[in-house]
Structure 1
Amino acid sequence: MSGPASRARVVLVGPPGAGKSTVGQVLARLLAVELLDTDDAVERREGRTISDIFIEDGEPHFRALEHAEVLRALAEHDGVVALGGGAVEHPDTREALLTVPVVYLEVSMAKALPRVGLSGARPLLVESPRARWKALMDSRRPLYQEVAGLVVDTDTEPVERLATLVAEALERGDLRPRSEA
């Protein structure tokens, strides 16, 4: 990533329903830092929901906004950053993520879909949610794995335990940027 060095302490990636925002809130509390959710940041900056951005301007426009927000977060936010599920699809985002500690929160479809619901709030999952979620994961799983220094399965462990696992890995120095591996 060009420009100033990253300030983000840890970044959480994964599909919708993995628990990025939920685990991120607890992890931020444990680390005594703030959580920045890039989806929320895009919505605040744009003054409209992600669903509205998709409908009014299309997915490519949203992805450009998302990429800019991720780069801003990595450069300016000294805490936990939770990325939207598709952020890793942008090659420059993946390159930037190699410079920070990244945790891939893995989840099964059986656990993810009930967590996200089937409302219009998840524009990519509105039509044929199971088939769409599987297709998204088939394309995104290798990208999550590419940037992650740690993979955590969120299916069975409570949120507090997941956040503790990440905090302990950071404290031990086991969770480092992929560029340092």
Structure 2
Amino acid sequence: MVDANKPVLILVGPPGSGKSTVGRRVAHRLACGFKDFDDDLQEAHGLAAGELVVELGRERFQELEVELLRTVLTEFDGVLALGGGTPTAPGAAELLAGHRVVFLDVDLENLLKREGLVPLHPWLLPNPRAHLRQLLTERRPVYESVATATVPTSGRDPQDVVDDVLRALSVAGHPIAP
């Protein structure tokens, strides 16, 4: 049984992996709320996540992420899509322990095809391919370590991913009615 004060599901993965798209659809299927963590950061601090990183520096930005994550995990009970780097922030993995976390895994070629990814994440410039390759290499082990399940998204229809997310949670011993 899931604690009413915990998100029913947390999605992690790199920018462009489908966390927001899949998260909204899973929330709809489960008849619960959806929250995009990056939107909460922007609301709380007045700048988009990518701009906050540039403005404040990575270390301070990650401190703000962990502060907000601590609050969201106790107050929100729907589907939560974390920012791509949130699980890598010092202390975030410990906060995610015991929660239903699904890693939406995507390969580099599919990330590069995602429309609008680079403008949303200015820190990827001037070489998006190199930055994304490095990001995937560094973050994949973190995503895998915090996840209770992994679902591939490369080249897949979002509805098929949604079905697999719900199935993966049931198989992992975390039953969720579809």
TM-score w.r.t. length of structure 1: 0.86
SS in 2 for 1:81: strand
| Backbone CA RMSD of aligned residues | 2.0
User: Is the 1:38–1:84 contact (alpha carbons within 8 Å) kept by the matching residues of 2?
Assistant: yes
Equivalent residue runs for 1:60-79 within 5 Å: 60-79=59-78
* C-alpha displacement of 1:134: 1.0
Separation of aligned partners in 1, 2:21 and 2:83? 13
C-alpha spacing 1:42/1:126, structure 2 compared with 1 (3 Å) = same
Separation of aligned partners in 2, 1:161 and 1:111? 16
**Residue correspondences, number:** 172
SS in 1 for 2:120: coil
State the identity %: 37
Separation of aligned partners in 2, 1:102 and 1:40? 19
Partner of 2:172: 174
Output the amino acid matched with 2:172: D
SS in 1 for 2:91: helix
Query: For structure 1, which runs of at least 5 residues remain unmatched after alignment?
Result: 177-181
Partner of 1:162: 161
SS in 2 for 1:24: helix
Separation of aligned partners in 1, 2:62 and 2:173? 27
C-alpha spacing 1:21/1:124, structure 2 compared with 1 (3 Å) = same
Query: For structure 2, which runs of at least 5 residues remain unmatched after alignment?
Result: none
User: Is the 2:104–2:151 contact (alpha carbons within 8 Å) kept by the matching residues of 1?
Assistant: yes
* C-alpha displacement of 1:52: 2.8
Separation of aligned partners in 2, 1:63 and 1:30? 31
Q: Could you give the per-residue CA deviations for residues 60-106 of structure 1, whole angstroms, max 9, x where no partner exists?
A: 22211211222222111101110111111124111111210110000
Separation of aligned partners in 2, 1:23 and 1:118? 16
